[in-house]
């Protein structure tokens, strides 16, 4: 077999770090209003702001070598349709909860309906693992920003990480890695 030319520089999948499930102080890197077939939502790009895993998703972004780099931590927040439905009531509560968390976690901040001002704001994020179905039908695992809480709750340890979400009844094994710091490349924001 002939050795291909970039073999020595290729990063093996086993070396890709994974954020451990837990509670983290997070920072909003970008927030953008988008629309899909289900309605309008906020796509909020998030990174870890403090501690051992600070800049975890920025480092992940910098490690990517393909032309189509992806930011791997988004919190999608549906905007209420104001249609009076039960689903819309749930959407309104989730939206208001997110806003309350931002206001509680960022002294002097008051939401004024301008999502661009979310950038740089802190909040507490609870991350669990979720299984998902890949395009080829196999099952994958991903870290999931499952819930937002006030920063103070993370700092005081007053939180419980939501249970992991499995497609079936048997959990897959969890593997965690330590991130590799690299701050030399630009981020997509």
Per-domain boundaries in the chain: 24-156
Residue 125 CA to residue 50 CA, distance in Å, equals: 12
Tens of pLDDT along the chain (189 residues) come to 888 888 887 766 556 788 999 999 999 999 999 999 999 999 999 999 999 999 999 999 999 888 899 999 999 999 999 999 999 999 999 999 999 999 999 999 999 999 999 999 999 999 999 999 999 999 999 999 999 999 999 999 999 999 999 997 555 444 444 444 455 556 777
Q: Which long-range contacts (CB under 8 A, 24 or more apart) does 31-37 make?
A: 31/115, 31/116, 31/118, 31/119, 32/115, 33/79, 33/115
Answer yes or no: are the C-beta atoms of 24 and 154 closer than 8 Å.
yes
Residue 142, helix vs strand vs coil = strand
Q: How far is CA 38 from CA 20, 34, 41, 77, in A?
A: 31, 11, 9, 12
CA distance 32 to 128: 24
CA angle (61, 63, 67) in 5-degree steps? 70
CA 104 to mean position of chain CA atoms: 20
Residues 6+ away with beta carbon under 8 Å from 1: none
């Amino acid at each position: 077999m002939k050795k291909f030319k970039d073999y020595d520089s290729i990063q093996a999948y086993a070396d890709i770090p994974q954020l451990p499930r837990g509670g983290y102080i997070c920072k909003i890197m970008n927030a953008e209003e988008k629309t899909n077939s289900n309605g309008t939502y906020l796509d909020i790009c998030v990174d870890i702001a403090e501690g051992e895993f600070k800049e975890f998703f920025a480092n992940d972004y910098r490690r990517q070598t393909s032309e189509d780099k992806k930011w791997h931590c988004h919190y999608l927040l549906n905007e209420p349709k104001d249609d009076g439905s039960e689903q819309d009531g749930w959407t309104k509560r989730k939206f208001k909860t997110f806003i309350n968390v931002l206001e509680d976690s960022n002294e002097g901040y008051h939401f004024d309906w301008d999502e661009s001002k979310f950038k740089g704001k802190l909040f507490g994020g609870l991350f669990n693992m979720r299984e998902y179905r890949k395009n080829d039908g196999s099952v994958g695992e991903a870290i999931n920003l499952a819930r937002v809480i006030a920063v103070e709750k993370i700092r005081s340890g007053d939180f419980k990480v939501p249970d992991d979400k499995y497609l079936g009844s048997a959990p897959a094994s969890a593997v965690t890695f330590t991130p590799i710091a690299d701050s030399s490349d630009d981020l997509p924001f």
